[in-house]
Amino acid sequence: LFKIVNRLFVATKEKPCILDTIGQAGINKCFSSLLTRSNHLCVGSPLKVDRSLLQYLPKLKVVVNGGVGVDHLDIPLINSFGVKVYNTPHVVDNALADIGVNLMLACARKILQGTIYNLFIYHESETLLGSLLGNNVRGTTLGRIGYKVAKRAQSFDMKILYHSRKEEEKAVGAMYCEKMEELLKKSDFVTVVVNLSPQTQKLIGAKELAVMKPSSTLINIRRGKHHRDVLVDALQRKVIKAAALDVIDPEPLPTHPLLSFPNMIVGTHAVETTWVKVETLAALNDEQPPNEVKIQARPDTHHALHPSRATSNQYWFKVENCRHS
């Protein structure tokens, strides 16, 4: 049924949350029985919810994506089975911010290069010089995740620049740059934290890279539509110092020149794999507060589940309508 091994969360009335794994062997009898009783299906990228899976789920009411992006889900197909699609945008905010700062640290302190050097060649310690302290970090926006990245960057006395004005700017001492070019020229670390849309696909191209400092680093922790070949050229010609992409298109990336650079980190797009996410999805089948769920059956939309802690061990969900892109 599936070509690769994926994790699947299944919620039923008898068992609020069951974590199971589907492999190349497909669905066994026990798992098939579980699916026929399931009413909630919680999945994560790159798991595909296709017609063959939906036919195993006659009682399915809701498909929940454990994270923000739903571009891997065929929403019109799922809706045609009378099933609603939800995402959970706030569940992974802290995890994304953590990985953003971790990638900055890994690039600044040349962790990957150090590992390679220790394994294969002798090196002088001077070749691994670098630091985050006092550098400028730039965010394409200062939204939920950008704000959390900025809060973490404050711990390293970094100066925060951003291009899209948000209320949080004063809380993190961020400096607003009216023009993208101005921001790129000043930044030591350019962190991309935008949603995937026609306007944000391949946001950083040859023109933008040429404006950046030769000592700067490009970090991406959100959507994976990049100018891959342009980035290869920039690294080869040392237009920028380094890059780190936790998401990339396609995934997994086949043999590609990007994978050959010691100053290039390609992540696993698994930053949302945290126990907080598991606990939140597990609570999906809990009783909902009245009037919190607003269902609007439109084929071009999905619904967002926004968790907030009601108690120390319980989550409630508010469902908001979001246009699918």
What is the reported pLDDT for 276? 52
Pairing outcome for strands 314-323 and 301-311: antiparallel
Distances (CA, A) of 174 to 91, 163, 167, 191: 25, 10, 10, 14
Query: Catalytic residue at 37?
Result: no
Which H/E stretch holds residue 191?
Answer: strand 189-192
Contact 324, 300 (CB under 8 A): yes
DSSP of 97-113: HHHHHHHHHHHHTTHHH
pLDDT 10s digits, 193-207: 766 655 556 678 889
Give me the helices (H) in the chain, please: 29-36, 51-54, 75-80, 93-108, 111-120, 144-153, 180-186, 206-211, 228-236, 275-282
Query: Catalytic residue at 126?
Result: no
What is the C-alpha to C-alpha distance for residues 89 and 69, in angstroms, rounded to an integer?
A: 8
- For residue 40, list its beta bridge partners: 11, 62
What is the reported pLDDT for 256? 79
pLDDT 10s digits, 234-252: 999 999 999 888 877 766 7
What is the reported pLDDT for 19? 43
Given the residues 251, 279, 306, 324, the one annotated as active site: 251
What is the reported pLDDT for 211? 92
What is the reported pLDDT for 240? 93
Residues 84-120 as b or e (16 or more Cβ within 10 Å = b): bbbbbbbbbbbbbbbbbbbbbebbbebbbbbeebeee
What is the C-alpha to C-alpha distance for residues 125 and 111, in angstroms, rounded to an integer?
A: 12
3-state DSSP percent of the chain in helix, strand and coil, to 5: 30, 20, 50
What is the reported pLDDT for 227? 75
What is the C-alpha to C-alpha distance for residues 53 and 44, in angstroms, rounded to an integer?
A: 15
Given the residues 163, 223, 228, 303, the one annotated as active site: 223
Structure tokens at 86: 């939800």
What is the reported pLDDT for 96? 81
Q: Whole-number mean pLDDT of the chain?
A: 66
Q: Report the predicted TM-score, pTM, of the whole model to 2 decimal places.
A: 0.59
Domain boundaries of the chain, sorted by first residue = 6-91+273-323, 93-266
What is the C-alpha to C-alpha distance for residues 79 and 81, in angstroms, rounded to an integer?
A: 5
What is the C-alpha to C-alpha distance for residues 262 and 260, in angstroms, rounded to an integer?
A: 7
CB atoms under 10 Å from CB of 256, counted, come to 13
Q: Give CATH for domain 6-91+273-323.
A: 3.40.50
The answer for residues whose C-beta is within 8 angstroms of residue 281's C-beta and 6 or more apart is 9, 17, 42, 64, 66, 88, 91
Distances (CA, A) of 159 to 150, 182, 183, 212: 9, 15, 12, 16
Given the residues 269, 272, 302, 303, the one annotated as active site: 269
What is the reported pLDDT for 99? 83
35-38 contact pairs (CB < 8 A, 24+): 35/10, 37/12, 37/13, 38/10, 38/11, 38/12
Query: Catalytic residue at 144?
Result: no
Topology (CATH) of 93-266: Rossmann fold (3.40.50)
Listed as ranges, residues in the chain with pLDDT below 70 are: 1-35, 44-47, 67-68, 89, 114-142, 164-171, 194-202, 222-226, 250-251, 268-325
pLDDT 10s digits, 49-91: 888 788 878 888 888 777 667 777 888 898 899 988 887 767 7
Which of 251, 253, 286 lies closest to 69, judged by CA? 251
What is the reported pLDDT for 261? 84
